[in-house]
Amino acid sequence: MEDKKVRSELESYIDSYMNLLPDMLKQHEGKWTVFAGKEPLGFWNSLGEAAEAGYEAYGNVSMLIREISQEYIKYGKYGKPVIIPAKYLKDLEDKLN
């Protein structure tokens, strides 16, 4: 049941991202953003900065961290996947705790 809830949340974050993407591209192309609701938390220069801000704002919950990129217009709402090494996430968790 938890997996369905997480997938549903992530789908809603992706849909929000896609709805706002044309406007975000005008001012924030190339930046990273965090969604854990219908609006972006903010905009950062790197994945690491966005991940840290998302974790600090929301804690250990499902969230979407994405670059603001034309790629999602070209490839659709899933775009090309971003791979985050597990070690990076563990290091981030250790740093924030």
pTM for this one? 0.75
**Could you read off the pLDDT tens digit of each residue along the chain, which spans 97 residues?**
578 888 888 999 999 999 999 999 999 999 999 999 999 999 999 999 999 999 999 999 989 999 999 988 877 787 766 677 777 777 777 877 7
Say how far apart CA 23 and CA 26 lie, in whole Å. Answer: 5
Alpha carbon of residue 44 to chain centroid: 11
* Whole-angstrom Cα Rg for the chain: 13
Domain ranges within the chain, ordered by starting residue: 2-96
